Structure 1
Amino acid sequence: MAELTRDEDNLVRELSSQAKSLAMRDKRNLAYYDGVNRLTHLGISVPPKMQVLEVVVNWPRVVVEAIGERSDVKTIRRGGALGADEDLLELFDANNLAAQMVMFNRDKHVFGRAFLSVGSNEDDPDFPLITVESPREMSVKVDRRSRRITAAFKQVQEPGSVLGQMQTFGVLYLPNTTIWLSREGGGWKVEDRDQHGLGRVPVIMALNRQRTGMWTGRSEMADVIPISDAAVRTLTNLQLGLEAAALPRKWVIGASENDFVDREGNPITKWESYFSSVWALANENAKIGQMPGADLSGFHDTAYLYGRLAASVTGFPASYFGHVTGNPPQEGAIRAEEARLVKTVERSNGESGKALAWALDTAERFRTNEWPAGNRTVVEWHDPGTPTVAQRADALQKMAGGVPILSREGAWDEMGWSEPRMQRERERFEMQDADPAIQALMTKVDGLG
């Protein structure tokens, strides 16, 4: 089996080193998203018997999921076209990208970067494979001038032939070649080569909050993580306070342990005597009193403060972080409160949409052996704002002075219908127009009205 060339080997080493440099940061971000970043990582010392009281405030996941929940692809079209492109929608559906893009956006917001790869489909050549790749497994080299990926390397571990052992595999993506590798004896062995002659690396990257000269992106959770850590400390201390000081404490003077007995003279355990509602001691010199429990409202106020801080740095409504008012806001207030969140989602969708469009164009190249003309594929997204259809319709009608301003299909588009849904309605209207019986029935219904 052929070996890697010197240049290919150098690329593998360089990209493997890049992946290792990001591994610790990626592991930390994943732990925060999953809510498993324990208090020991935050520098809090908790006695072993009290570790069950640890609290993890998973606001980082709230941030990621709140953006992802508002990122739904509406349709895909070619620039300048009025309707959706059927070929691109077929590619989109064949690769189940409606579900795959959920993972893509989640990776982008958790790790700061996300990847799509495109490859030939041996089972169905008409539908090349478009796959979401893990940022923890993929590393890329970018040409800063052209802003294109010039090489990409994917490294994965899978169970080997020997039980309990893991085998390392790799894929090196180059502009005209894809090389499959396996790790043996500290080196890489070439398993297969695909001379696809694409001219470009079939790996597409999207960066979250990209900055000039930086090609790793930034986690969307970065701003809220320190505040979440502070809330964790506060709520864990609150838990400790509930156990140690919140309940009123009783005191006894002039009694001995032998005085705590039941009717048969058997000793009563300390916890049973502590939690009983009435105490009676035969010792006439004994006195019983109670000290008030600790006031823990300061912990509550501090937790609410952190929630408001989280809302301020993320631009999310404060209700996302536990600050709930008694009366629900009206439609206009909801839209106003979500202004920054909506703009964040729109910009995120723009980044993801460009990556998806480029992946679809690359798949078209695999399918037709020709690149689509220009960078003209457009991904449209559903409105990320909370729907307030009545308010929007009323405003449009007032601006038009009561004159109809939308066609039938324009109204469907405003209602947010998908292309398949609109196509079903077109077919129903065609059936209605073609069938005289249906026309007569509709005329009769109109007359009754």
Structure 2
Amino acid sequence: MASETEALRLVGLLENELIRRRGPIDRHNDYYRGKHPLKFASDEFAKFHGERYADFSDNWVQVVADAPVERLTVTGFQASGEVSADAELWRVWQVNGLDADSQLGFLGSITGARTFVLVWGDPDDPDMPVVTFEDASQCIVGYEPGSRRRRRAALKRWQDGAEDYATLYLPDEVWKFCRPLQRQDKSPQMADVDEELKRWQPRELHTEPNPQPNPMGMVPMVELPNKPMLVEEPISDVSGVVAMQDAINLLWAQLFTASDAASFPQRVIMGAERPTIPKLNTAGEIVGKQAVDLAKFQVDRVAWITGKDARIAEWQAANLAMYTGIIETAVGHLAAQTRTPQHYLISAMSNIGEGTLLAAETGLVKRCDQKILWLGQGLREVARLIALAKGQTALAEKLRSGRVLWADTESRSHAQMADALLKLKQLGFPFEWLALRYGLTPTEVADVIAMREREMEADPVSEITRMMANQPGPPPAPGDVEEEPAEADEEEVDREPVG
């Protein structure tokens, strides 16, 4: 049991680390949403054109981040020693809306380098724990010294209305604190007056104690890192895209500026003074000269040039294709660095065969398989926490070495998939395994099997005949092979008697 002083000390330590992480997380989220400040521009270009392109972005960050998320789909959980997925765990997953929210969590992990899952019991429904994906900007997990898996504490900090809230999760108890929301526009005098209000205070809870016991016996929050490292912080998929995204935006800004000012051949008059017209007073008398508005020449497309040395020079229009070529090269670099298929980024590919398309997506498939490996470790722990929240300690122990079931990360046509599954069926793979490979969830597989059984009961003869036709038969024994008769000798045929 931790004292209030010890709990507040942990809250302070975890909060400071959470604040340190917040900067890159917010920056990468902004880039995903298309909020890109104009970078790499000279001071002169930024001075004259910066405001013009303040809201422009050619957003490739979103494409790179979304590409793997659409292929990361959890279909079930299977405990160690079991031959089928756990139906009750899948019910908890769906009741909590995690078939949709998991996509949000995986996207948060890709952009923010990590995401979190919180599991807690529902006092109104002991059989249905509450499971939520949490954003990396609000949560942090502290580990035991020297360990990357044994969780010592976890903190969730968020704002609601005029209050800051914090919940500290420990293996044996949970503390809840609050404080007034800190305003950023306070004067130094008011900041001194409100210094005392910055301290966390235990929340007043009328329906539950504070702290309250943690019946699960372990920290109920799990971290799902993206590209974890042995020592350093996990890496966001967006962090390596930001620099190239800035370069692409600048190239577009320069292209647009060039197209506005130099996309047509330019002519200049040399050796002549600027044309003037007489300046008249109210009586119509010439009192001086005034320069002709040059914009009038652009409208009228007529100029009167005088002077013995006057001549016209011309320079060619800007080569805008140079900019587009560099942009395509930059996008190609971005595709190679992030293992995103080029047909996701460049729409110039056409008439591509299925085999070529699969080969082009190999890098993305491997990228998704790596994420499944990293995310699967954390999701196994989530399944274990769900079992502990329901009081199923035996199942929780089996889930520690269980596995998470995922949909296939490789996209294939229905014809390719059907052909591959038929060949696997002929090799002897069971129908249930093939149905999972096809992409059905364990619940859908159970429904299909029940339908097959009803069809069997309705017409058993035709069903058995169909199943036997799809099964490969044993090879015939050597003595069972009937030899074909030898061809007749042509000479013997010629000796047939003639009547």
TM-score, normalisation: structure 1: 0.83
> Unpaired runs of 5+ in structure 2?
181-196, 204-209, 279-291, 466-499
**Deviation of residue 181 (structure 1)?**
0.5
Where does 1:361-372 land on structure 2 (aligned, <5 Å)? 361-368=384-391, 370=393, 372=396
Q: Give the structure 1 partner of residue 5 of structure 2.
A: 6
CA 1:12–1:411 in 2, change beyond 3 Å: closer, same or farther? Answer: closer
Instruction: State the AA in 1 paired with 2:52.
Output: V
Could you give the per-residue CA deviations for residues 88-140 of structure 1, whole angstroms, max 9, x where no partner exists? 11111111111111111111111111101111213322111011111111122
User: Are the equivalent residues in 2 in contact too, given 1:118–1:203 (CA < 8 A)?
Assistant: yes
Q: Give the structure 1 partner of residue 72 of structure 2.
A: 71
**Deviation of residue 269 (structure 1)?**
8.9
Matched, 1:387 2:397: no
Distance 2:322 2:49 in 1: 25
Distance 2:223 2:105 in 1: 10
Q: Give the structure 2 partner of residue 120 of structure 1.
A: 121
Where does 1:351-366 land on structure 2 (aligned, <5 Å)? 351-366=374-389
Question: How many residues are paired up?
Answer: 420
Please, which of 234, 248, 254 is the counterpart of residue 217 of structure 1? 234
Matched, 1:373 2:424: no
Q: Give the structure 1 partner of residue 251 of structure 2.
A: 234
Q: Give the structure 2 partner of residue 248 of structure 1.
A: 265
Where does 1:14-413 land on structure 2 (aligned, <5 Å)? 14-39=13-38, 45-47=45-47, 51-54=51-54, 55-143=56-144, 144-145=146-147, 147-160=149-162, 167-183=163-179, 185-191=197-203, 192-214=210-232, 216-250=233-267, 256=275, 274=298, 279=301, 291-322=315-346, 324-368=347-391, 370=393, 372-374=396-398, 375-391=400-416, 394=419, 403=426, 405-413=428-436
Could you give the per-residue CA deviations for residues 290-323 of structure 1, whole angstroms, max 9, x where no partner exists? 653211121111111111111221122223332x
User: Are the equivalent residues in 2 in contact too, given 1:77–1:84 (CA < 8 A)?
Assistant: yes
CA 1:281–1:61 in 2, change beyond 3 Å: closer, same or farther? Answer: closer
Secondary structure of 1:128's counterpart equals strand
Q: Give the structure 2 partner of residue 263 of structure 1.
A: none
Could you give the per-residue CA deviations for residues 408-447 of structure 1, whole angstroms, max 9, x where no partner exists? 43442332122333233233333334447x989999xxxx
Distance 2:303 2:319 in 1: 30
User: Are the equivalent residues in 1 in contact too, given 2:38–2:53 (CA < 8 A)?
Assistant: no
CA 1:251–1:158 in 2, change beyond 3 Å: closer, same or farther? Answer: same
CA 1:120–1:441 in 2, change beyond 3 Å: closer, same or farther? Answer: closer
CA 1:272–1:416 in 2, change beyond 3 Å: closer, same or farther? Answer: farther
**Deviation of residue 247 (structure 1)?**
2.8
Instruction: State the AA in 2 paired with 1:124.
Output: D
Distance 2:201 2:3 in 1: 8
**Deviation of residue 392 (structure 1)?**
5.7
Could you give the per-residue CA deviations for residues 321-357 of structure 1, whole angstroms, max 9, x where no partner exists? 32x4453321111222222211110111122222222
Could you give the per-residue CA deviations for residues 124-180 of structure 1, whole angstroms, max 9, x where no partner exists? 2211101111111112211123721101111111113xxxxxx11110111111111
Aligned sequence identity (%): 21
Please, which of 420, 439, 448 is the counterpart of residue 416 of structure 1? 439
**Deviation of residue 257 (structure 1)?**
7.4
CA 1:226–1:409 in 2, change beyond 3 Å: closer, same or farther? Answer: same
Greater gyration radius: 2
TM-score, normalisation: structure 2: 0.75
CA 1:219–1:282 in 2, change beyond 3 Å: closer, same or farther? Answer: closer
> Unpaired runs of 5+ in structure 1?
161-166, 260-267, 444-449
